Structure formats: structure tokens, C-alpha cells
A and B are shown apart, each in its own frame.
Chain A
Amino acid sequence: MRHALSLFLILFGLWLIMSGHYLGWLVALGAASAALTVWIARRLEAIDHEGHPLHLAWRGMPYWGWLLVEIVKSNIDVARAILSSPAAIDPSVFKIKAGQRDELGWAVHANSITLTPGTVTMAIDADGTFTVHALTRASRQGVESGEMDRRVSRLMGEA
């Protein structure tokens, strides 16, 4: 129920931002459409702990900041690889074991890997082993150093 309510608040807030009109009748229609969407989401059983992990948004501020810096660094790395001759790239496929316990932690970790250019998570096995494609040797070492793994675990409150 708590998740349904927070989903409603998010949707309604989004509606208010997007509409820009604040007449009583229109706002009531917006609230009704948000409620209808929540009802449909409940029927789809899409409302759960994983659906919109709000708890991560606030606690994760240091993590998102760190990720931003990583994204900028890897962008420069990839840009250099593209602009220099194709010989500069050394693509490789490798596997790492994610340290997180549940699927939400894996999702955050895998998406963080993919979000930093230069590395893409290609597959996730049932035991949390990621198959990762890396563009350059540096980007591969970045993932294999395991720093992101440690930080995601801390974000998920596991370490």
C-alpha cells in the first residue's frame, strides 16, 4: 500500500509538472488519471519494492556523484579510442561475479556498468555472474578492480 501511494504521488507530481495548468477541474482529472494508472499497475502486479526503489534515490547521493565522475572519465577514454586509429581499441569479453545479494542490487550494478561508456553488461546469469563487454583495456580494468561492486553493495546496505 505504501508503494502504491508513493507511485500515485510520483505520477500525480509528474502530471502537475507536465500540464502547467492548475484549474480545479483539470487537476481533478489529472489525479483521476494517476489513480487509474496506479490501479492498472496493481492489477499488473507491477507495484513492489523493485518497481520504483525510492529508498535508493536519497541514500545513494554519494554513489550517484561517484558514478557521474566515472561516466565523465570513461567518456574521455572512449572518445580517445574512437578518434585515434582503430588500433587503439582492444575489445574483450569477460565475466565478473556481482557481490550483491538480490536482483535489485544486480540491476543497479549492471546498469551502472552499462551507463559508463566503454563497458556494457551483455548477460546476467541466475547466480549473479555478469558477462561484460569492454571497449578498451582500461575500461576492462575499471570493472575488474571491483570498486563499483563495493560501492553498489554499500549503496544497497549490504556492506
Chain B
Amino acid sequence: MIAGLLDMASWGLVLAGSLVILVGTLGLLRLPDLFTRLHGTGMTDTMGAGLLVLGMLLQTTDWLIAVKLVLILVFLAITSPTTSHALASAALYGGLTPWRLSDRKDEP
């Protein structure tokens, strides 16, 4: 009974995580410029990876694997904002102008 519930919860988490990853990457394709696209990958790195890893955590009984899964999340949580900031600041420094709503005419 408990095992079945855990299995269902893990199903839900993994599927939700996959969905978040898909939506975030869709943002990478659909959004109009670099600065807005950064938010899409931010979704993948935080909630997408988080839900996916949580779902995997429920599938394992080995504590070593559980610790490694949590470590993946911790590393992502530290490195993802640093990467985003480095990219945004470099793009700003390189003279890229953020897209505004008034630029929409350029978009198909």
C-alpha cells in the first residue's frame, strides 16, 4: 500500500519534472531575446531538475544514491544562478540591448 502510493507519487513527480523541462526549453525557443530566454533555462535548472530528482529519490532505497541525487540538486542550485548571471552580465557588457514589449513588431 505504502509502496504503491510512493510509486504513484514518484510517477507524478517525474512526469511533472519532464513537463517543466519541456516548457522551460520551449521558452528557450519561443522567447524573443537572450535575457528572456535565460528565465526559461532557469525553470529547467530549478523546478524541472528538482521534481525529476525528487521522483528518482522516491525510487531508490540506497542512501548513497540518495545522497548523490541531493548533491546534484545542491550543485545545480549553486551553479545555475552563477551561470545565468555571468551570461547576462557578459551580454550586457557586450552591448546586447534587452528586448522590450515595444519591439514586438520585429517578431513574426
Task: Classify A-B as touching or not with yes or no (CB < 8 A).
Answer: yes
Residues of A at the B interface (CB closer than 8 Å) are 14, 17-18, 20, 71-72, 75, 78-79, 81-83, 86-87, 89-93, 110-112, 114-123, 131, 133, 135
B84 contacts chain A at the CB level, 8 A cutoff? yes
Whether the Cβ atoms of B101 and A110 lie closer than 8 Å is: no
Contact A114 B35 (CB under 8 A): no
Question: A112 vs B27: C-alpha distance in the bound complex, in angstroms?
Answer: 21
Contact A114 B42 (CB under 8 A): yes
> Closest 7 A-B residue pairs measured CB to CB?
A114-B81, A117-B42, A82-B27, A75-B47, A122-B88, A111-B81, A135-B39
Q: Which residue of A lies closest to B97 (CB)?
A: A93
Chain A hits for B64, CB < 8 A: 17, 20
Q: Given that A79-B23, A117-B39, A117-B46 are contacting pairs, would A17 and B67 also be in contact in the complex, using a CB cutoff of 8 Å?
A: yes
Q: Which residues of B contact A (CB under 8 A)?
A: 20, 23-24, 26-27, 30-33, 35-36, 38-40, 42-43, 46-47, 64, 67-68, 71, 77, 80-82, 84-85, 88-89, 92, 98-101, 104, 107
Indicate if the CB atoms of A91 and B99 lie closer than 8 Å: yes
CA–CA, A120 to B36, complex, Å? 9
In the complex, chain A residues whose CB is within 8 Å of the CB of B31: 82, 86, 89, 135
Question: CB within 8 A of B104: which of A87, A111, A123?
Answer: A87
